[in-house]
Structure formats: C-alpha cells, structure tokens
Amino acid sequence: MSDEKKYTTPKDSHYARLRRAHRDNQSKGEPRRRNRPALPGTAAPEGLVRLYGLHTVRAAMDNPKRKIRSMFITRNAAQRMELGDPAALPFPVEMVEPKAIDLLTGTDAVHQGVLIEAEPLRPKSLAALGDTPLVLVLDQVTDPHNVGAIMRSAVAFGAGALITTARHSPEESGVLAKAASGALEHIDHIEVRNLAAAIEELHGLGFFTAGLDSEGPAILEETLQGERIALVLGSEGKGLRQKTRETVKALARLDMPGAIRSLNVSNATAVALYVARRTLSGA
C-alpha cells in the first residue's frame, strides 16, 4: 500500500495542479484538435533547473555534487532505470503520466518519461583548473544544443575542462543537459569574465592554444604542439572574435578536402579533440 501511494499523483500535487490549469485553458480556447501545435514548457522553480532524459538523469543521480530536489517519472521509465524502491531515494519521487512531464518540458522535448528538479552546478574559476593536458575554450558559442554536444565529445576524448565566458554562453538547462547525454556531470565547467586574459593565463600554465578557423594558415595536425593543449572555438557564423584571434598561439584549420570546407561547431570540436588527443599521445 505504501508503494502504491508513493506512485500515485495526489490531487494537490504540483502536476495535478498543472493538469487542471491546462484543461481550463483548453476549455477557454479552441476545441482540441488532432494535430494541435506543440505546447511550450513552464519555468522551473526559482533556483532550480529541470533535467530530463534517461542518461541525463542517471548521470545526475550518480554525481555526488548534484543536489536533486525532486523526481517525476513514469512507470515505464522507472523500470528502464531499474529505480527500485523510490522511497529509498534521498529526494521525493512522484509517479506521473508522460503528459504531465510534457506540461513542464514542452511537447517537443524528448524527456523519455523522467525529469528531475535540481540545483544547478556552480561553474568554477580558472584557478580550479587541475593538471589536465587538454581543455576546450568556447568563444561565445550560445546554442545550448551545440554546447551540450561539445560537452559530450569533450568527455569522450578526456578533456578536463570546458572554459566559457560569463556572458554570451548558455545557462545550464534541460536542453543543454539532454544534448550532453550525461556529460554535464563529468566535466568541470570553468567560467571567466575576460576570455583573452584567460587564454593568456593558460599560456602561463603551459598550454599551447590553437584557435580553429576554416581559413587558418595551416592544418591542425601540423600546428599542435607541447604537452598541454587548449582548443579554442568560435560561435556559428561569426567564428572567433578578433581579440581571441590575436591572443591564441596559432590559428589552424581542419583538413577537409571535400567541397564543404566548414562544419557545425560541435562536429568540428569532435574532430579537433581527436587530433589533439593523438598529438598528446605522440601518435
């Protein structure tokens, strides 16, 4: 009986109230249509972020630094995650229908039946950078899908940190975390105010900084050197800012002999990380 009660949605629960509000809005508007437009999500409670998706939520649960405040999950997702007894978890768990999570994330989000509300991870300062030989630096890359995908590649290739500016960078969000597929919990996020000054500081720490530029004077494989490498990537369209271009040790391009000479920034990052990892290993 206790488990059944845990898995029900009380009449006064957060999601029950959202359902009632949604039904009220529908009754005041146009009749329900078979192919109705996608619905937007709702804002997370103040001071919290909503993270969703099986891999994202599992990684957050396994991260001792992540403070989870609540979970909302479908029966199917609970089985897929092998959740066990939800009462044993250190935060409240509410069993809901998929549509209830849709009301929070929006109907376009692929939440896979699970969502958590958690405190965001706090970015670190450059002084917290450890002895990693490989870092990524983003110069105003603002698309959360791209940043999430970049984090995923960074973790896959063993980069120790992702450095971004305090402004013109996406905040932690469900969209970013879903694109990262759990990588958000596995890489240090370092936030700086002045990117050029941070790059100079990386030079002082022994990093060779290479800015990716489709018109760079040499290919990346022939440019990278040293025992510590920082790859610097610019935003879609604009690329690296002029100050950044003037501060890095070298500008380099990916060797692409095909008709298309540029890649999406997240794809370019994955290729550059592979090249950098081979350079560091002496391959």
d(CA 230, CA 207): 6
Residue 70 in this model has a pLDDT that exceeds 90: yes
Q: Where do we find the tokens 């001071």?
A: 47
pTM of the model: 0.82
Spatial contact of 166 and 192, defined as CB atoms under 8 Å apart: yes
Per-residue confidence (pLDDT) for residue 257, from 0 to 100? 84
**pLDDT tens by residue, 137-176:** 999 999 999 999 999 999 999 999 999 998 888 889 999 9
Residues forming CATH 3.30.1330 domain(s) in the chain: 2-118
Residues forming CATH 3.40.1280.10 domain(s) in the chain: 126-281
Nearest to 73 by CA among 119, 9, 1: 9
CATH classification for the domain delimited by 126-281, as one of 3.40.50.2300, 3.40.1370.10, 3.40.50.300, 3.40.1280.10: 3.40.1280.10
What does DSSP assign to residue 237? T
Q: Does domain 2-118 have CATH number 3.30.1330?
A: yes
Spatial contact of 202 and 232, defined as CB atoms under 8 Å apart: no
